[in-house]
Structure 1
Amino acid sequence: MLRAHDITVRYGRRTVLDRVSFDLPPATVVGLGGPSGCGKSTLARVMAMMLRPAGGSLSLDGAPVPGWRQRAPRAMRTRVALLYQQPRLAVDPKLRLREIIAEPLAAAGREPGRLVEELAAEVGLTGDLMRRRPHEVSDGQLQRACLARALTLEPGYLICDEMTTMLDASTQAHLVAVVNAYRDRTGAGVLAVSHDQALLERWADSRAELTGAGSRPVTPSPSPAPRSRS
């Protein structure tokens, strides 16, 4: 279980999250919806240990998280992966797609072997695309590479922060299918952050809502429609 308890985040004088608690169980897709500016991405960054809150705590599989960003233990940091909304802001523009996917392996001192190629094929990237840099591919192709990068160390929890925003329907469906397959194969917990309620109804096993700055998400409830496997 990835558990956030009484999280408070402030930007200057503005309170974005006020004592928010949220649980992400393993082997489950939990959807988090709400309007723009309500704190969805902020909560996602806190749960990925990328943002230190003003108050509250985070625990991972029953163990308290003792720090944030590089101060969090590596074993904890690699258990949680964050997929950002805007892939071009999340990559080094000088790297080729193959190098982008391999980044976590390099940081962990592991040889990539065939893993990079296998993940690239899984997300739908061909060999010629792997040799290109970010400015030479589309947003959808770059987001596919970012998803492959997020999966390289087999995280136990995957946080998808508006990962399908501004992508075409076929790319959106493919990325969701890859995440679903990964969840089924590994038992990972998935947090699907989106303002697209129709997408969350199809995708998530349960959903919660942030309704405004400083508000708290409701208890996750079962989605009324079956989750798509397409």
Structure 2
Amino acid sequence: MTGRLTADQVTVAYGRQTVLDRMNLHVDRGETVGLRGPSGCGKSTLVRVLALLHRPETGQVLLDGTPISGIRYQVPVDVRTRIAVLFQSPRAAADPRLTLADLIAEPLRATRAPRDTIAARVADLADTVGLTADLLTRRPHAVSDGQLQRACLARALVHRPDYLLCDEATTMLDAATQALVAAVITRYQNDTGAGVLLVTHDPALMDRWADRVVDLRHLDDGDASACADG
């Protein structure tokens, strides 16, 4: 299955600090790309750019060779739902007012999916990530980090994205939940041919999961960037 998500000559700065300098990176459908580099090197910033959450100063994001203009809701729904992101901290990514069921359903409601479609999709994904019916009725404060991250993973998969960006998504989890999250993502990738970008400081996970690795400090298969000092 062909397709590619690309960061082309992306530059991002915060004030006078350049975090990414003419960064090139691509993720093909069906492959897992590992992204590594020291803290402060811009890994999370690059994820946000690719997820259409942050506009770069220069450069662009391309989806299957087509440049994407705008970010967030400026991007047509059939384009932005092809890219999903799973962040490191589920508590920072989850609305504390929502139950886990509502958290999973939120992206479908935002695109005005039919109610019966939402209910069926939430039930299917809850089963996929191992969330029982009683957990679905709870709010984030009443569940563990691992349970909440499983709900966030279900939410990320709810639109069946072609690309899943994982930003240290297993760092805060215990070993059993790490294994479950990795297994769910791998199975999803095998079933759909999705491309996965994996940001992690875990070398064992990187070696086991990634088809190729891009280091933000060096040239790697044509992909390059400059790290910020410090």
- TM-score scaled to structure 2, two decimals? 0.91
Alignment of 1:161-180 (within 5 A): 161-180=167-186
Of residues 136, 144, 149, the one that matches 2:142 is: 136
The answer as to whether partners of 1:94 and 1:133 remain within 8 angstroms in 2 is yes
The answer as to whether partners of 1:48 and 1:82 remain within 8 angstroms in 2 is yes
Partners of 1:217 and 1:24 in 2: CA distance: 16
The reply to whether residue 204 of structure 1 matches residue 210 of structure 2 is yes
| Aligned-CA RMSD value | 1.3
Of residues 86, 104, 125, the one that matches 1:119 is: 125
Alignment of 1:86-101 (within 5 A): 86-101=89-104
Partners of 2:155 and 2:68 in 1: CA distance: 23
Matched residue, 1:36: 39
Alignment of 1:1-230 (within 5 A): 1-111=4-114, 112-211=118-217, 218-219=220-221
Gaps of 5+ in 1: 222-230
What is the aligned length? 217
Shift of 1:113: 3.2
Shift of 1:138: 0.6
Partners of 2:139 and 2:53 in 1: CA distance: 26
Partners of 1:38 and 1:117 in 2: CA distance: 39
Identity of matched residues, %: 55
> What does the per-residue CA deviation read over 1:76-115, in whole Å, with 9 as the maximum and x for residues that have no partner?
1101001111111111101000000000110111131311
Q: Following superposition, which runs of at least 4 residues in structure 1 exceed 3 angstroms of deviation?
A: none
SS at match of 1:37: coil
Amino acid in the other structure paired with 2:41: C
The answer as to whether partners of 1:8 and 1:20 remain within 8 angstroms in 2 is yes
The answer as to whether partners of 1:33 and 1:197 remain within 8 angstroms in 2 is no
Shift of 1:45: 0.4
- TM-score scaled to structure 1, two decimals? 0.91
